[in-house]
Structure formats: C-alpha cells, structure tokens
Amino acid sequence: MDDLGTLETLSQEQIQRRVAELGEWFHNMDLKGVKTAPQHFLGDYPAVKWRRFADRIPADLHGRSVLDIGCNAGFYSIEMKRRGAERVLGIDSDERYLAQGRFAADVCGVDVEFRNLSVYNVGALGERFDIVLFMGVLYHLRHPLLALDIIHEHVAGDLLVLQSMQRGSDQADQLQEDYDFWQTEMFDSPGFPKMHFVEHKYADDWTNWWIPNRACVEAMLRSAGFDILERSEQEVFICRRGTPPYGPGVVYPARGGSR
C-alpha cells in the first residue's frame, strides 16, 4: 500500500475502502472524487476556511520550507506543496491522523513528510522554517502560550500563520503598558484579552482547554514575539517573527530585568 505508483492509480472504490479503514477523518479531503469527511459539522472543512485566506499566502512557494504543526490529515501541507514549497513537514501528536495524511499525500501525488511530534518538542527538529502553520491547535493545548514561545524560539523563521477558535467579543481594546493596582474596570471590557478555561468539555471535545477572545489571541502573539501583519480572516492571523518583548532566547519569559 505504500508504493506511490500504486496509490496514484487506485480506483475510487479502493480509495473509499482505505479511507474507511483509516478511521474517522477530521479533514474533508477530496481524494480523486472520494470525500473523506462529507458529514463534517463545519461543512467542507477546512476547504471553506482555506478559501477565505488562501490569496493572502504567497502563491509561489518555490524554494520555501513549511512546517505544519498539528497537520491532521495534511490538508494545508498538501496545499503548500501544490504551491511549490520545496520542503513541507507536517507534524501531529496523533498517529491516526498522520496515517491519513500519508495516504492523502500519496493519492494526491505530493511529497510531504509526516512525523509524530508534539508542538512542545519542535526544538528537536533543530531547524527553522520559512512558513510555520499553526492552525486550529492553540485551544487544544493545556499550555498555549508556552507552545507559542517554543515555536518562536525554535522553528519560526519568517512567517507564522495561526488560526484559533475564538469565543467572546471580537473587539480588541487599545491596551496600556501598565495599570494601577486599583484600576480594574478594563477587566470587565469585552475587548480586554480574555482566555476561557474549559475544565471539562466544549463541543463534546475534552481537548478544548483554553478558548481566547480575539484580543487575547493578538496579545499572546505579540507577547511571544510575533508581529501581526494582518488578520486575514476572523480566526486567521499572518505574523512575522519579531523580537520577544521580554528578551531574546527566553522560552519561559520572566518579567522584570530585561524591560
């Protein structure tokens, strides 16, 4: 089954059978006419999301390297490769999804490398990438800001494309550098950065841990050292790796001293 030549010539019936064998899919891929998750609760996902910001990503990625963190079945990895990226590495912590990704890429005839690796361990790659995709993962983490710090410290080379579910207000208040101890009204503003902690489950999913509002996503990105170039879509931010506000090379920023 892992012979690329064979996979590229599979019939629709064979693809359909293998898709079913690979378990439940989150990505609704189109594998030569076979849809992998046609009943997805978000519709034709992530194609519907991708269409809303695809034109904001460089159309020609020749010579560029891409790291797709939390790649799932490789929808975005495959799109990057289709744009000519020289090297695309998709990582995920779930072997089931990686198996789906390998199959999808093979059927599509694109060369994507898939590895089982957690975002917390990307330092082990010892490599920076021109584009890092961090789509739909932030709110699945118990330690989301740590993940952003690690990405900045170890793998982000130039652009970071981040997507996060958001809940709460879409307002983003202008924040002050500091607030007096007795000043508290800003905490009640819907546009102040807020992170909602999910102790049990959200949307029947116990892996939804922290759900930020828009202001919080933006503040966290800045705090981890990413300059936000644009909000391409309600949930999608394109950023450039910049200087962390608490001093370069610090994965666990300690306030004070360096400011």
Ligand X SMILES: C[S@@+](CC[C@H](N)C(=O)[O-])C[C@H]1O[C@@H](n2cnc3c(N)ncnc32)[C@H](O)[C@@H]1O
Binding site for ligand X (CB under 6 A): 26, 46, 69-72, 75, 91-94, 97, 118-119, 135-137, 140-141, 163
- CB-CB contact of 74 with 112 (8 Å): yes
Q: Which is nearer to ligand X, 76 or 226 (CB)?
A: 76
Is residue 237 within 8 A of residue 253, CB to CB? The reply is: no
Task: CB nearer to ligand X: give 10 or 104.
Answer: 104
Please, what is the minimum distance in Å from the beta carbon of residue 133 to ligand X? 7
The residue number with the shortest CB distance to ligand X is 70
Distances (CA, A) of 116 to 21, 93, 119, 164: 20, 5, 10, 22
- Minimum CB separation from ligand X for residue 68, in Å? 7
Minimum distance, C-beta of residue 203 to ligand X, in the bound complex (Å): 11
* Euclidean distance between CA atoms 51 and 33, whole angstroms: 19
Question: 127 exposed, middle or buried (CB, 10 Å; 0-12, 13-18, 19+)?
Answer: middle
| Residue 114 Cβ vs ligand X, minimum distance, rounded to whole Å | 11
Q: Which residue lies nearer to ligand X by CB, 136 or 225?
A: 136
Cβ 239 vs Cβ 220: under 8 Å: no
Q: Please, which residue, 91 or 131, has the CB nearer to ligand X?
A: 91
C-alpha 172 chain-centroid distance:
22
